Amino acid sequence: MNSQQCVIIGIAGASASGKSLIAQTIFEELKRDLGTDQIGVINEDAYYRDQSHMTMEDRVKTNYDHPKALDHQLLAEHLKQLKKGEQVNIPCYSYKEHTRMTKTLDMQPKKVIILEGILLLTDPKLRELMDASVFMDTPLDICFLRRLTRDVAERGRTMESVISQYKATVRPMFLQFIEPSKQHADIIVPRGGKNRIATDILKARIQHLLAR
Ligand SMILES: Nc1ncnc2c1ncn2[C@@H]1O[C@H](COP(=O)(O)OP(=O)(O)O)[C@@H](O)[C@H]1O
Ligand SMILES: Nc1ccn([C@@H]2O[C@H](COP(=O)(O)O)[C@@H](O)[C@H]2O)c(=O)n1
């Protein structure tokens, strides 16, 4: 597989803006045409730095919304390897343990990679690897409400911890890093992950890139 055959679409935006939902929808709908093994989703969160050497008390103090919390270097290397037709081992991340797990996920090269994560568009070396980029422009109050529900239900958090983390780091880092990165997006998607027209436009663009 040469580099022309690996299309990478980057989807960024606030936490709980609908990045995973739109990525998953595109994955499900395109895998019917392309085949399950020819399209994959990579979550930037898998590349949070390993903190297994730290105590839980220290892990919870990390600012997870600052670019330095993520190993973008490793992510960029993996994307380059996939583009070259090589297999990669993607780290698995635990939001409950705030660190990487020992297991990794084997990913074989694919025709299409959908990359989703809050800080993707802040990094020029990642932008360089994308064939198209998207920013989910969901209102921040809606994102906060969705995050509160999701983090309590799925990420082992209390309501109080979600609220204090939001005030201390999530909102300030959104304003400092994530929101300004919108200028780098090719497409800005209002309302969230259920935006049908935006989903269709992205699918059509992927098909167009594959047909080059
Ligand atoms: N348009 C929408 N309407 C209702 N719920 C939504 C919508 N988009 C996302 N959600 C829900 O909000 C939560 C966060 O969405 P998700 O796609 O995981 O966001 P992100 O990947 O940006 O953090 C999930 O529980 C998801 O099911
Ligand atoms: N140990 C961690 C790691 C990350 N987070 C939060 O996850 C958010 C990004 O993931 P989304 O699916 O919501 O885009 C980010 O805002 C981090 O604050 C965390 O709480 N704990």
- Predicted confidence at residue 2, as pLDDT, reads 43
How far is ligand 1, taken at its centre, from the CA of residue 116, in Å? 13
Mean pLDDT by 10 residues, the chain (212 residues): 75 98 97 93 98 97 98 98 97 96 96 98 98 97 98 96 98 98 97 94 95 87
Residue nearest to ligand 1 atom 16, measured at CA: 18
Q: How far is the CA of 130 from the centre of ligand 2 (A)?
A: 22
134 pocket-lining for ligand 1 (C-beta < 6 Å): no
To the question of pTM greater than 0.95 for the whole model, the response is: yes
Three-state secondary structure string covering the chain: CCHHHCEEEEEEECCCCCHHHHHHHHHHHHHHHHCHHHEEEEEHHHHECCCCCCCHHHHCCCCCCCHHHECHHHHHHHHHHHHCCCCEEEEEEECCCCEEEEEEEEECCCCEEEEECCCHHHCHHHHHHCCEEEEEECCHHHHHHHHHHHHHHHCCCCHHHHHHHHHHHHHHHHHHHHHHHHHHCCEEEECCCCCHHHHHHHHHHHHHHHCC
Q: Which residue has the CA at smallest separation from atom 4 of ligand 2?
A: 64
What pLDDT does residue 125 have? Answer: 98
Position in ligand 2 atom list of the atom nearest CA 147:
13
pLDDT for residue 1: 46
State the ligand closest to the CA atom of 24.
1
Q: Confirm or reject: Cβ of 20 under 6 Å from ligand 1.
A: yes
Evaluate: CB of 193 within 6 angstroms of ligand 1.
yes
pLDDT at 44: 98
